[in-house]
Structure formats: structure tokens, C-alpha cells
Structure 1
Amino acid sequence: MSETTTRGLRRRNRARVLKWVMLNPGATRLNLATVTGLSLATVTNVVGDLIDDGIIEDSGTVPSQGGRPTTTLSVRPEAAHFIGVDVGEHGVAVEVFDLSLNRLASSFRYTSARASDPDSIAADIEHCVNEVLTETGVRESVVGIGLGLPGIVEHPEWSRVDDHGDAMLYAQSIAWDGLEVGTLVSHDIPVFADNGASTLALSEHWLGAARGVDHGIVALIGRGIGVGIISGGEILRGRSSSAGEWGHTIVSWGGRPDATGIRGTLEAYVGGTSIADRWAEAGGDPDEDYELALAQLIEAAPRDETAAAVLDDTVELLGVGLANLVNLINPGRIVIGGWAGLALVAHLGDRIADAARRNSLERFAGQFDLVPSHFGRDGVALGAALLVVQEFIDGRAVVGGRTITAPHQRAGSPRVTGGPSGP
């Protein structure tokens, strides 16, 4: 076996062990051998390296079947920190997490991406990142910053941003066409980026409503609409990370235009602003705040025929859009997030699931369930941080000036670049 192959195998073994311990604190060496399929000797060696690196520790004991108690393992929360950024419809949210994925601090600036230029968003990101770093004092142990962004994030490695410019953002609906993602972050910290729907899918897949799901759909429904697709236990990326622009699929030929000018898209009918606009066009009087308008519509529907008709159409069209995904992807679970999606599912979840099943192939219709997002509005920032966590787990991440990578590589090693793999 070549040296390169051996290093790759060690790194993969390390990643499997570390991720399991992160997500399952209190694991034992024997348990790790069982779930990873590695030999007990290999697990013992990997665990020893991770303990030497200060990443995990012996955290307690549990009774064994005779003999000495069995030692349990957990990560050391303070060993590494990760920043997640959600550039969303209502503003910029920044959160910092430790290695146990505890949220230590958060900051928010109200600045809608749709109404702001990139320089303003960059300034808000800088302000919020500085705020959480000052509050926590963890700057030296930050591995990287993850960004959850509106639009298409393209990069040959799908998410890694090197030298402020390799990743490009194409957000047609807000006229950000070919923006260098690295220009949004001024800090000298490695940056990773993906579409917000994909980062939501990552958080739900690791820790939320899609945990343990090998084939699923995580829909983000706000003003815009996107989807993260879980296929074979990984987030489906596409050729250049662009998979998931579900909101721009056609549900009505030649129909209403969406924010990009494309007619008849799902977003043109089921996006949060589009729902309110359709109600106004039908004679309703929605609030100027689109979230309040959707709440008003849901409340008015039982006693107002116009509101009821708009809401019925919304349910049916969303069902059609979901059915298209069901017939294409054959998911075991559909998770609905985003402010508009959460409001619709909270009041109309059963009707939406029924509409999706009625428009799906019968065989597929009985093979999925539909649930709300576990993380609500916090999932995009967490998922953005998980982009960095995955890089750390895979052994290509820098902490406080040193590279944590394959076993026995120590302080002073050069930074290792390259995009993280899927979860």
C-alpha cells in the first residue's frame, strides 16, 4: 500500500471515529468498532491520536459485563470553534459553535439581502463576526467561517473559498451576478459557502428532522424557495454545487413571473411574497409585512372565500411542486423550513402532505412523511457552521495556526485546502 493510500485511509478512519463521537457523546471504543466496522485495534489507535491532539477525551465510565468499567469518550468542546453565517431575507445572522456544537453566541443585523448591496452585507457580516468573537474570546481556535447564501454558489470544489475569489455567487433574483464570495468576509479565517437551502439540509441531516435519513428533501420556503436533497446519505451538489433551485421549476406554463423574470415557477405562486401578492390581486388587503400578511391570510381563510381560494391554490401548487420532487427523488422524508414554509405546515401540514401524495405516483406516495424543520429559523447558520465542521472532521482544517489532519501531523504543518466532502 502506497504512503498516499495509507494516509488517506488513516484520515478516513479518523473522520469516521471523530464524527461518531461528536454526534454520540459517551461512545465507547467497542461501540465505535461496531458502528464504524473498524477493528478494535484500529479504533484504539485512532482514539489515542485524537486524545493526543486534544480533540477528544475519556469522559466517564459505564459498567461492563464483568471486569473493569468501560471508559466512555466525548469531544473536548473547547478544542475548536466554528462560525456560521446566514445571509437571509431579514438580515445577517452570525452564530459561533464549539466542538460539541453548542451555540456560544449569536449576533443579528437587520439588512435584507434583497435591498442591500454586497458591500453593506459584508459590513454587517464583519460587525456580527467581531461581536461574537469579542463575546466568546475564541478567535485563536476558530477553524473557519461558513456562509449560507441566497442564490447559486459555484466552486470547482463546491464550497471552499481560497484567496478571496474561487467561489462565485450568482443570485439573479437580487441582481448579484458573479460576486466573489470571499469579498463578503474581511477576516483572515478560512471561508466556506453554500446555498442556504443546502446548509439547512445539512443541519437537519446531521442533527434535526432528517437525521438518519438516507433519501430526503429539505425545503426552504420564504420569499424565495430552494431545496436541499439528501441522496445516499449525502447532500446532492450537482456539477458545480447548483443542485436544488426547486423554486424556479415550472408549475404553470406562461404564468406569473418570479423575481428572476421566469414565468410560471413554483416561487411565483408559493413564495411568501407571491402568496400575499396573489391575495392582494384577488381583492384582499394584506399587510405590507409579508410574514404578517401570510398569518392574516391563514387566519382569514375559514371565514373569507377569497382568502380561502388563495390558500387552497397555495396548498395545491405546493403539493404539485413536492410531488414533482417525490417522483424524481423518491424520498423517505420531506422536511419543510423557512418562515413561509413553517407557517404553512403549522396550520396546513396534513393538507400539504395530502396534495403531494395525490399528485405523486401511488407507490412513492406511501413512502414518505412530511414534517416541519427541527431548527426553525436557526438551521441555515448552523448548517453553514457544519460546512466547516465537516472540513475539520475530514482532517483539512486549521485551528490556531496548526493543521489537524492525518494522525501524527502536528503544529507547524502547512494549511491543507480543498472542499469538504458531504456528510
Structure 2
Amino acid sequence: MGDRAMASGGRTVRDLRRENRTAVLQRLYFDGPLSRHTLGPATGLSSGSVSNVVAELVADGLLEEAGSVDSAGGRPRTLLRIAPGSGYLIGVDIGETRIRIELFDLTLAELARVECPLEATGGTRTDRYDVNVVVAHLREGITEVLAGGGIDPGSLLGVGIGVPGIVAHSAEDGAVVHGQTIGWDAVPLERLLRESALLPDSVPYRIDNGAMTLGQAEMWFGAGRGARDAVVVLFGSGVGACVVTDEATPGRALEWGHLTVRVRGRRCRCGALGCLEAYAGAEALLERWAEAGGRPPEGADEETALTAMLAAAYPPPHEDGTPVPADATALSVLEETAEYLGAGFADLINLFQPERILVGGWAGLQLGSRFLDLVRTHATSYALSYPAGRVTLGLGTLGPDAVTVGAAILPLADFFARGGHPARTEQQEPEPAWHRTVRERTAP
């Protein structure tokens, strides 16, 4: 009957083979190197299935030997690991002030990096996100990292891109970005990249919200490892979040920054009133400091200005150890911001009851643990006591560049889900005969 033979639950033999390959690849990726003997219990596969799958993956060049370990019987057992050079990935972060593009091998070791500044050319902040300019940066940057790494475009397993906004999909255009805060209204980003003929048609693009890619990176490699579920917060010029319920599959982006925290409140950059982002994003935080009489450094970018605000609110002591008085204005704005964030965190706790909430992004990491302690206090006071007592709140561990790592994970996760088969080798299976029979019986 071949690969069309049906297995339990309606899956075909081909489905089972792909799932077995996926199980072995994922366990070796997260926990390897491992021996064939260890892979059995780790994956739940029989020793025969492990041997068959490993033989296939070695023949495909995806696995390689990584030394040996002694066994109880005295015969050394060969260790296996993912072969780093068996495929390559590109991760892209379309950020607030720059586009970061990184080339990785299959183990996500960085091989090359390019950063393209986004500069405003007109009178509004959205000018820097001119779609044609962004696509041109992507074309040039991807070409540059491939050349820098000496990698042929055809060996790419995919390009992952983290963007600000909501990503929808259509049959004609692929990924379409609705980025209201940057002036993108249904931008067909995937189609525009395809039309540029930059990469072979066999190389997939995976485009998703930047908070979601950050969340995936922290769950795979950072502070989310081992959690059953988590909410990961991206705190930069604006704020966003991602809820992840399974370590191995992508999470779901939340437009958390546009949760209303104050009716008829401050105007948000999305156009609405009272959004959390209008109070807690770094851009709004610095605006509120200036409005309250603070003095952000003139001409400084947001990161430099936020550093100055934190230094004013939490000044280091004099060399002799005597304390330096805090800037009352900066401290007051930060403490008010902590309460807004705490209320927003309480909503996440009540809605999703996560095991962990992790804070990342350049602004979140810069604000650090001292500020997070104050946010935690407010979150606990606003949230229901039972879920608040079960959640832990902490900082991400992958640094401000984590979005590009998470973006590269998007095509990597797809690659694993296909059992390590490149997208170009995926074949459309013929539909089971009963599909046609049901259609004929129910046709008008």
C-alpha cells in the first residue's frame, strides 16, 4: 500500500515517518548530542524506529557523529548531533530605528550581520518606514550577509522576519502586514520580496509580529525554557506581547500595547486614546518626562535619552558612598509608568494565567530588575490572587538582539515540522478516495 497506507488516527505512513523524523531532530536540537540508545526513551520511539530515522537523517546530511560515551556494557555509544552546516537561516528584525539582518547556521550560530538605519525623511515618524525603502534595505542586507557568510542562496532553509503590527495571510500575497503605528495599511510584504527575485522561489519567507519572534526565542533558548506556558513582553519604543503555550510551536502575538488603560486618556501613536503604549512605551515615557519638566538630552536617540532618565531617577552614589538625590520628576514619571505596566501585566495574568511573564526588548532590559520589582508589586495588587500567586515575573536573557534569533526560528520550526525536508521537496499528496465520495454524495 506504500506511503498512502493509513495508520492510527487517520494518519498515513508518510505522516508517521515525518513525525518520527521531527521527534528525533527536535530532541537532538534541544538536548543533544545524544546516543541512539538515549533517543529511544527521549522520543518514545522503538529502537528500530530510531535506527531507521537516524540512518535517513545521516544520509540526508542533517546529523553527524559527535564523539562517544561509555555504556554500562563497556561498549562505547556513538553520540549524534545536528550538523551545523546542513542548512542556513536568515533572521530579520524590522525595528523602531533600524533593520537588523543576521545569517545563521542550523544551530543558530551567527555567521554574518548587517544593520540598516531607518531615518525619517519627512515630517512624521512613519516616513522612516516607507515600504520601498524598507524592501530596498532588505534586498541589500540579505545579499550582503549571504556574501559575508559565503553562502549560496539556494542553501537557505528560509528567511524569518519580525515586523511591528498584525500579520495576516492571503493566497495571492502571502504575508500582509497591518502596522498601524508605522503607517502600514495592508502592506503585501511577502509579495514585494518575491517580486524582487532576490532569492530562489524554493526559499520560504516567514513573516510575523516581532513580539512573537522574541517570545519564541526566549522559549527555545532563554528564560522561558522548561515553562509550560509563558507571556513574553517586548518593551521598546512601544510595547507588545506574545503568549506561548508550547515550547516547540510558534506563539500568538497580542496587541497588548493597545489595551485601554485610561478612558479618554493620552493619544496613542495608533490614533486611539488611553492605550497602554501611550503611557508605557519608551517613546511616550520620554515625552511624559519632558512634559513634566524633565530635560531629556537634546538630539539624543531614545536609548540614550532613556539611559539619562534612569540615571536621573536612580543616580549612583558619590565616590565616598554618600547618596545623590534623585531627580524627583524622572522618578515620579517612572513610578507612574510602573503602575500602568503593573495594571497591564495584571490583565495578562488574569486572562492567560501563565506560568511565567518575561520582559525583553531594549527598553525593558535597560529598565532592569529594579524597575521590574515595582511593576511586580503593582501587578500583584491589580490581579486576582490565585493566578498572581502562581506566576513568576522576570527579565529575558537573550539581550536586545533576540528578535532576529526568534525570526530565524520561524523557518527552522517549519523545517522541523516537515521532518527535515526542504520546502522544495514537499509533495502534495493525493487526497483519500473518501473525500471525493463525500463530495459526490453531498453535491446539489
**Structure 1 and Structure 2 fold alike (TM over 0.5):** yes
Q: Counterpart of 1:343 in structure 2: which amino acid?
A: Q
Question: Pairwise mapping of residues 182-197 of structure 1 onto structure 2 (< 5 A)?
Answer: 182=190, 183-184=192-193, 186=196, 187-188=198-199, 189-197=203-211
The share of aligned pairs that are identical, in percent, is: 39
- Whether 2:403 is the aligned partner of 1:395: answer no
- Whether 2:238 is the aligned partner of 1:221: answer no
TM-score of the superposition, structure 2-length normalised? 0.84
Deviation string 1:206-264 (CA, Å, 9 cap, x unpaired) is 11111121211110011121111012444443xxxxx4110000111110011111111
Match of 1:204 in 2: 218
Distance in 1 between residues matched to 2:263 and 2:303, nearest whole Å: 27
Query: Which has the larger displacement, 126-135 or 183-192?
Result: 183-192
Structure 1 runs (4+) deviating above 6 angstroms are: none
Distance in 1 between residues matched to 2:408 and 2:420, nearest whole Å: 13
Which of 17, 22, 28 does residue 21 from structure 1 map onto?
28
Which of 147, 156, 176 does residue 168 from structure 1 map onto?
176
Q: Counterpart of 2:179 in structure 1: which amino acid?
A: A
Deviation string 1:178-216 (CA, Å, 9 cap, x unpaired) is 000211463223211100000011111111111121211
Distance in 1 between residues matched to 2:233 and 2:309, nearest whole Å: 21
Match of 1:310 in 2: 333
Match of 2:293 in 1: 283
Distance in 2 between residues matched to 1:72 and 1:63, nearest whole Å: 10
Q: Counterpart of 1:334 in structure 2: which amino acid?
A: I
Q: Counterpart of 2:186 in structure 1: which amino acid?
A: G
Aligned-partner SS, 1:129:
helix
Aligned-partner SS, 2:376:
helix
Query: Which has the larger displacement, 183-192 or 80-89?
Result: 183-192
- Whether 2:145 is the aligned partner of 1:132: answer yes
Q: Counterpart of 1:130 in structure 2: which amino acid?
A: T
Match of 2:361 in 1: 338
Contact 2:129 2:183 in 1 (8 A): no
| 5+ residue gaps, structure 1 | 157-161, 238-242, 406-412, 416-423
In the TM superposition, residue 24 of structure 1 has moved relative to its aligned partner by 2.2
Distance in 2 between residues matched to 1:135 and 1:317, nearest whole Å: 44
- Whether 2:113 is the aligned partner of 1:106: answer yes
- Whether 2:159 is the aligned partner of 1:145: answer yes
Contact 2:313 2:327 in 1 (8 A): yes
Match of 2:268 in 1: 258
C-alpha RMSD of the superposition: 2.1
In the TM superposition, residue 32 of structure 1 has moved relative to its aligned partner by 1.6
In the TM superposition, residue 354 of structure 1 has moved relative to its aligned partner by 2.0
* Number of residue pairs aligned between Structure 1 and Structure 2: 395
Question: Pairwise mapping of residues 25-64 of structure 1 onto structure 2 (< 5 A)?
Answer: 25-64=32-71
Aligned-partner SS, 1:376:
coil
In the TM superposition, residue 175 of structure 1 has moved relative to its aligned partner by 1.1
Distance in 2 between residues matched to 1:322 and 1:305, nearest whole Å: 25
Aligned-partner SS, 1:66:
coil
Distance in 2 between residues matched to 1:141 and 1:24, nearest whole Å: 25
In the TM superposition, residue 344 of structure 1 has moved relative to its aligned partner by 1.6
Deviation string 1:3-51 (CA, Å, 9 cap, x unpaired) is 8621111111111110111222211222221122122221111111101
Q: Structure 1 residues 9, 264: closer, same or farther in 2, change over 3 A?
A: same
Aligned-partner SS, 2:254:
coil
| 5+ residue gaps, structure 2 | 120-124, 315-325, 430-444
Distance in 2 between residues matched to 1:325 and 1:402, nearest whole Å: 40
Distance in 1 between residues matched to 2:428 and 2:84, nearest whole Å: 24
In the TM superposition, residue 53 of structure 1 has moved relative to its aligned partner by 0.8
TM-score of the superposition, structure 1-length normalised? 0.88
Q: Structure 1 residues 292, 95: closer, same or farther in 2, change over 3 A?
A: same
Aligned-partner SS, 2:174:
coil
Distance in 1 between residues matched to 2:129 and 2:177, nearest whole Å: 15
Q: Counterpart of 2:189 in structure 1: which amino acid?
A: V
Match of 2:310 in 1: 298
Distance in 2 between residues matched to 1:73 and 1:273, nearest whole Å: 48
Match of 1:2 in 2: 6
Contact 2:216 2:251 in 1 (8 A): no
In the TM superposition, residue 402 of structure 1 has moved relative to its aligned partner by 5.5
Q: Structure 1 residues 22, 388: closer, same or farther in 2, change over 3 A?
A: same
In the TM superposition, residue 132 of structure 1 has moved relative to its aligned partner by 0.8
Deviation string 1:247-300 (CA, Å, 9 cap, x unpaired) is 000111110011111111110000001001111111111134222222222221
Q: Structure 1 residues 57, 232: closer, same or farther in 2, change over 3 A?
A: closer
Aligned-partner SS, 2:408:
helix
Distance in 1 between residues matched to 2:403 and 2:193, nearest whole Å: 17
In the TM superposition, residue 369 of structure 1 has moved relative to its aligned partner by 1.7
Query: Which has the larger displacement, 84-93 or 27-36?
Result: 27-36
Aligned-partner SS, 1:155:
strand
Contact 1:146 1:385 in 2 (8 A): yes
Which of 84, 95, 100 does residue 91 from structure 2 map onto?
84
Aligned-partner SS, 1:265:
coil
- Whether 2:139 is the aligned partner of 1:116: answer no
